[in-house]
Amino acid sequence: MSSRPAAGGGRWVEVDPGRVARWVEGFAGRHGPPTVTTEAYGLLLAAPDGATAELHAPPGAPAAADVPAFVAGATAPRRLGLLLARKGGVAVGIAEGADLVVSKVDTRYVQGRTAAGGWSQQRFARRRDNQTKAALGDAAELAVRLLMPQVTTLAALVCGGDRRAVDTVLADRRLAPLATLRADRLLDVPEPRHAVLVGAIAAARAVHVLVREPAPPR
């Protein structure tokens, strides 16, 4: 379980689906039994002392009216498409529950930045742009080959890496049906490798909880 500050106050907590029920019990123990409200993102828990917890359903999980149904939906096995892209590499896969059942990683050399100026710098910049375009073109081909034949079986597509690179890959018209499954969640991952793709499954399935503590008494 990881935690990070949230914009506007509070903190984001990432909880493994199998631990959500215990997390909610802990929240209730600290703040009192909460009321539960269904929201577009999942569930809102509002405790008697003013503390709140927004339980954001993981990609592909169904809507739920209460905590038990939310937990059941979050823990249920489902097929997720994975697309991790950066300028020099891509990792594509399909996860069945917590298991990676389809995967392919491709890397390409992309020219690093240069400190040279003038025409030399512009030449390197053009070469770098061309290398990036070629790498992302290969990434689109990989997604077409691995994900499109399975697109009707996927509950969601979870992406990670560089947002601009991911956007460029999914702009390929052949991937339009896949793009419609894209989840809002963007995973923060390093250069795509097989180990990174495997690790991305847990991040893709995690429940994101926005916790806000009660206001201090005046």
Cα(118)–Cα(135) distance, integer angstroms = 26
pLDDT tier, 131 (very low <50, low <70, confident <90, very high otherwise): very low
How far apart, in whole angstroms, are the C-alpha atoms of residue 86 and residue 68? Answer: 38
Q: Give me the domains of the chain, ranges plus CATH numbers.
A: 2-76+206-212 (no CATH), 79-201 (3.30.420.60)
The DSSP result for the chain, as a single string, is -EEEE-TTSSEEEEE-GGGHHHHHHHHHHHH-PPEEEEETTEEEEE-TTS-EEEEEPPTTPPP-SSHHHHHHHHHS--EEEEEEEETTEEEEEEEETTEEEEEEEEE---PPP----HHHHHHHHHHHHHHHHHHHHHHHHHHHHHTGGGGGG-SEEEEEE-HHHHHHHHTSGGGHHHHTTEEEEEE--SS--HHHHHHHHHHHHPEEEEEEPPPPP-
State the residue for tokens 């100026």: 117
Cβ atoms of residues 160 and 167 within 8 Å: no
Does the pTM of the predicted model rise above 0.95? Answer: no
- What's the pLDDT score for residue 8? 84
pLDDT tens, residue by residue, 149-185: 999 999 999 999 999 999 999 999 999 999 999 999 9
Q: How far apart are CA 47 and CA 54, in angstroms?
A: 11
pLDDT range class, residue 2, cuts 50, 70, 90: confident
